[in-house]
Amino acid sequence: MKTPYSFNTITDFLLSQPLTVDVEIDDDAVGSLPLKCVEFDATVLYVGVHDFSRLSLDLSPSEVLIYMNMFLVWMRESLCSEKFCVVERFLDSAIVLLFSKRFGSEEPFLDALRAARWMGDHDELLFSPDMGIASGRVAAGFAGTPKEFTGSVFGRPVLLAAASSRMKPPGEMASCITFPADEWQGRSFPDLFPPLEFDHPEKGRVRQPPTWQIGEPRAVDFPGLGRMELRDIANFVHWMPKTAAREKAREWFSLIKSKGFYKNNL
């Protein structure tokens, strides 16, 4: 059951909240434009499709579309128990999720970590998403053209989360979550990333050895932002799937063609 503080999209949120700014600007260069937004504190979880450029070169356009829809449905499972706001796709290669006390989250940063961990623990199709987290003040607002306005989110945390997702350290990691080091605030890693437990038919309750590790702060140069310390939480247990997502996308498209559902109208 959806709580009053959960929203499917940023547009849902904007239509239900008092706006921080609600005005129309008449600019002498571009003309009249509305400005409608809400400013609030949030944690941004940026989830990028890994190596999207290579994916687009290796797969046909329809296969990329199949892959993206598989990715989105898989991601949805990680958010079933979270109070979140799905914001938008950036250039069809990333999803941005907002976690905020405005959405009912008591610990937005921890909720973002939990959602990211789920993706790492359940990546049986080898999506290997690029994941970055950052917190701070954001503005959710409508942006677009006279033909269509859509909800979007803006601010330094969006930039930091996106940049952090692409600054993973080298190594054979199955999954990695990267964020500014000051986000950690001395938290206890074993409390936040306890080993998974499950019921074994013969051994009873079994606890897996820890698969996630937290790295030490490392200094990184951010273009336009200067030098900043990042931390990483990485999972080193790799899935051994029967078929990776990109292969399944090819298989589905091949089946669609064989069944006559693909019609080349050129």
DSSP labels, 9-75: BHHHHHHHS--SEEEEEEETTTEEEEEEEEEEEEEEEEEEPTTHHHHHHHS-HHHHHHHHHHHHHHH
Spatial separation of the C-alpha atoms in residues 149 and 11, rounded to whole Å: 10
207 pLDDT band, cuts 50/70/90, is: confident
Mean pLDDT of 185-206: 84
Spatial separation of the C-alpha atoms in residues 138 and 9, rounded to whole Å: 15
Could you tell me the CATH number of the domain that includes residue 109?
A: 3.30.70.1230
Mean pLDDT taken over the chain: 86
* pLDDT, position 232: 97
Q: 37-51, 140-154, 155-169 — which is least confidently predicted?
A: 140-154
On whether the CB atoms of residues 230 and 218 are closer than 8 A, the answer is yes
DSSP state letter for 177: E
Mean pLDDT of 157-182: 92
2 within domain boundaries: no
Q: Are strands 148-154 and 175-180 parallel, antiparallel or unpaired?
A: unpaired
Give the phi and the psi of residue 140 in degrees, each rounded to 5.
-100, 125
Per-residue model confidence as pLDDT tens digits over 226-240: 899 999 999 988 777
127 within domain boundaries: yes
14 within domain boundaries: yes
* pLDDT, position 211: 85
193 within domain boundaries: yes
Q: How many residues does this entry show for the chain? A: 266
263 within domain boundaries: no
End-to-end, the C-alpha distance of the chain in Å comes to 46
On whether the CB atoms of residues 131 and 116 are closer than 8 A, the answer is yes
Per-residue model confidence as pLDDT tens digits over 39-67: 999 999 999 999 898 999 999 999 999 99
Q: What is the CA radius of gyration of the chain?
A: 21
pTM score, whole prediction = 0.88
Q: Check residues 223 and 174 and name the one with the higher pLDDT.
A: 174
Domains: count for the chain:
1
Q: Is the dihedral of CA 145, 146, 149, 154 positive or negative?
A: positive
Q: Check residues 234 and 80 and name the one with the higher pLDDT.
A: 234
On whether the CB atoms of residues 156 and 203 are closer than 8 A, the answer is no
137 within domain boundaries: yes
CA 134 to chain centre: 11
Spatial separation of the C-alpha atoms in residues 158 and 5, rounded to whole Å: 21
112 within domain boundaries: yes
* pLDDT above 70 for 146: no
* pLDDT above 60 for 75: yes
- Per the structure, the complete domain to which residue 134 belongs is given by 10-258
223 within domain boundaries: yes
Q: Check residues 139 and 223 and name the one with the higher pLDDT.
A: 139
Q: Is 206 helix (H, G, I), strand (E, B) or coil?
A: strand
HEC string of 233-260?
A: EEECCCCCCCCCHHHHHHHHHHHHHHCC
